[in-house]
């Protein structure tokens, strides 16, 4: 067989084994139904289900119901999806994107969930003990070293914090190549993260450009940091997701069920954690209403066996609870939109810290000279924020309140960093 025949045979195998996607807008009154049918060999590959869910999640589709089932030959996934406003999907471009992503060799979606790094960025990953003011100190170090934050996402859960940060050199707008400067950045960030009262060592890495799915990577980092182990200081009377793990007699499955508050990306977060724990999903169902979500999965370990001990089942419970909670930080949501300037992130996070606010999560993005910041904040004790504090921050930043709800406060500012500082100084004198 010559090289041409080998290539033709490889293409035939890919076409036969690739998923088949059917989009139906008539089967359900309130949602678009997306059926994804795969050969069983595809879905039994580790991470295959996650790839499918990731594509839908990265397109900002809300999954209201889902069914997964395998007969050993074919694996059928059925997803009921809507847009952010609860409407059916009418955009043909989204359908084409789903089909191309799922029917290609690898699921590649360039969206808010997956960031394709260019050679002009450095990637920083941080893991350490969470505490008030940590984000402000990290941003201050980067600003002092003339690093511009292009995008960043920070999670905190069970006293652990993880961050994925994309930076450039402020003077050149490109990736930092000087090994001495990279070493200094790593050293100073390590010193910020180091907690002398914690036996766990912080982790700081700076890597070359590459491809990363931020949400997936943050789950992996938090899992590696063992945030599913709840410290005594975090144990309170709050309601946690109800997760059960039971044996399925006669079928050699372990049945995992989870009941929690519904929210965006919930299915992705759960499947991501099952994948990272080396489990395969053979059957499953997800049903949501306006407030609650019920998930059920029939799983086996990648070695083909169900869970084998009570300790393993308890760990699955803890890890699924952590997966559901990581992205659902409790607190007041602050959204800020403004012109992007060097030092903006450091200045904003310092204002939050000086006003006694603790950023429990943050998502920073910049594009075309504009910056968008999203924070979930509490006071330094983890309690709800005093409305007077928000009023003071509003005054200091000199911003206009666009909208205020019970959960969200949105700000907009159109000046420069110098304008912000002048306003802050004037109001303090």
* Residue extents of the structural domains in the chain: 8-103, 119-238, 242-326, 330-428
Note whether 148 and 167 are within 8 A (CB): yes
Mean pLDDT across 317-345:
91
Least confident of 42-46, 103-107, 166-170, 356-360: 103-107
Mean pLDDT across 28-50:
79
Q: Which CATH superfamily is domain 242-326 in?
A: ACT domain (3.30.70.260)
The share of the chain scoring above pLDDT 90, in percent, equals 59
* HEC sequence for 31-87: CEEEEEEEEHHHHCCCCHHHHHHHHHHHCCCEEEEEEEEECCCEEEEEEEEECCCCC
370 token code pair: 């504009």
Least confident of 115-119, 187-191, 225-229: 115-119
- Strand pairing class (20-24; 253-261): unpaired
Tell me whether domains 8-103 and 119-238 share a fold.
yes
Q: Rounded mean pLDDT of the chain? A: 84
Mean pLDDT across 36-58:
79
CA angle 231, 237, 241 (to 5 degrees): 80
Least confident of 147-151, 250-254, 344-348: 250-254
Label residue 338 by pLDDT band (50, 70, 90).
confident
> What is the C-alpha separation between 19 and 76, in angstroms, rounded?
10
Q: Which CATH number applies to 119-238: 3.40.630.20, 3.30.70.260, 3.40.50.880, 3.30.160.270?
A: 3.30.70.260
Q: Please enumerate, as own/partner, the contacts of 310-314 that have beta carbons within 8 Å and a separation of 24 or more.
A: 313/245, 313/246, 313/254, 314/245
Label residue 109 by pLDDT band (50, 70, 90).
very low
> What is the C-alpha separation between 396 and 348, in angstroms, rounded?
10
User: What's the pLDDT at 195?
Assistant: 73
User: What's the pLDDT at 376?
Assistant: 93
User: What's the pLDDT at 75?
Assistant: 80
Most confident of the ranges 201-215, 240-254, 255-269: 255-269
Q: Name which of 140, 126, 154, 106 is nearest 327 in CA terms.
A: 154
Q: Name which of 121, 195, 127 is nearest 163 in CA terms.
A: 127
Most confident of the ranges 20-24, 197-201, 217-221, 386-390: 217-221
Architecture of the domain defined by 8-103: 2-Layer Sandwich (3.30)
User: What's the pLDDT at 227?
Assistant: 94
Give the 3-state secondary structure of residue 164: strand
CB contact set of 90 (below 8 Å; sequence gap of 6+): 25
Architecture of the domain defined by 330-428: 2-Layer Sandwich (3.30)
Least confident of 2-16, 126-140, 177-191: 2-16
91, HSE (Cβ side, Cα atoms, 13 Å): 11
User: What's the pLDDT at 242?
Assistant: 97
Label residue 72 by pLDDT band (50, 70, 90).
low
Q: What is the pTM of this model?
A: 0.86
63 token code pair: 């999954």
Label residue 107 by pLDDT band (50, 70, 90).
very low
Does 88 score more than 70 pLDDT? yes
User: What's the pLDDT at 212?
Assistant: 83
Q: CA–CA distance from 229 to each of 52, 165, 181, 364, 383 (Å)? A: 29, 25, 35, 28, 22
Does 225 score more than 90 pLDDT? yes
Q: Name which of 76, 69, 65 is nearest 33 in CA terms.
A: 65
């Amino acid at each position: 067989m010559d090289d041409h025949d080998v290539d033709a045979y490889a293409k035939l195998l890919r076409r036969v084994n690739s998923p088949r996607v059917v989009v139906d807008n008539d089967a359900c009154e309130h949602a678009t139904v997306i059926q994804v049918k795969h050969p069983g060999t595809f879905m039994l590959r580790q991470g295959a289900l996650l790839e499918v869910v990731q594509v839908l999640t990265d397109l900002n589709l809300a999954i209201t119901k889902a069914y997964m089932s395998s007969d050993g030959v074919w694996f059928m996934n059925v997803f009921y999806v809507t847009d952010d406003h609860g409407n059916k999907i009418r955009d043909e471009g989204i359908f084409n994107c789903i089909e191309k992503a799922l029917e290609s060799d690898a699921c590649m979606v360039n969206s808010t969930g997956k960031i394709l790094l260019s050679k002009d960025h450095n990637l920083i990953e941080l893991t350490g003990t969470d505490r008030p003011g940590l984000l402000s100190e990290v941003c201050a170090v980067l600003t002092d070293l003339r690093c511009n934050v292009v995008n960043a996402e920070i999670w905190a859960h069970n006293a652990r914090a993880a961050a994925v940060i994309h930076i450039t050199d402020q003077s050149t707008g490109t990736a930092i190549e000087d090994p001495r400067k990279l070493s200094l950045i790593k050293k100073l960030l390590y010193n910020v993260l180091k907690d002398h009262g914690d036996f766990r060592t912080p982790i700081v890495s700076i890597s070359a450009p590459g491809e990363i799915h931020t949400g997936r990577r943050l789950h992996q980092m938090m899992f590696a940091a063992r945030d599913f182990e709840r410290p005594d200081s975090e144990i309170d009377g709050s309601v946690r997701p109800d997760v059960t793990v039971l044996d399925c007699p006669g079928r050699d499955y372990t049945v995992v069920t989870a009941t929690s508050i519904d929210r965006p990306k919930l299915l992705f977060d759960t499947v991501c954690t099952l994948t990272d724990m080396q489990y395969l999903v053979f059957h499953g169902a997800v049903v949501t209403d306006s407030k609650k979500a019920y998930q059920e999965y029939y799983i086996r370990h990648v070695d083909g066996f169900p869970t084998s001990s009570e300790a393993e089942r308890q760990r699955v419970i803890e890890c699924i609870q952590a997966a559901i909670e990581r992205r659902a930080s409790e607190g007041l949501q602050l959204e800020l939109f403004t012109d992007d300037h060097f030092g903006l992130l450091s200045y904003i996070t310092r204002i939050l810290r000086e006003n006694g606010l603790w950023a429990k999560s943050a998502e920073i993005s910049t594009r075309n000279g504009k910056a968008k910041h999203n924070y979930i904040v509490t006071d330094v004790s983890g309690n709800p924020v005093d409305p007077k504090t928000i009023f003071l921050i509003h005054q200091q930043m000199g911003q206009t309140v666009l909208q205020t709800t019970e959960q969200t406060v949105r700000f907009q500012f159109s000046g420069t960093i110098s304008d912000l500082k002048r306003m802050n100084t004037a109001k303090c004198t």
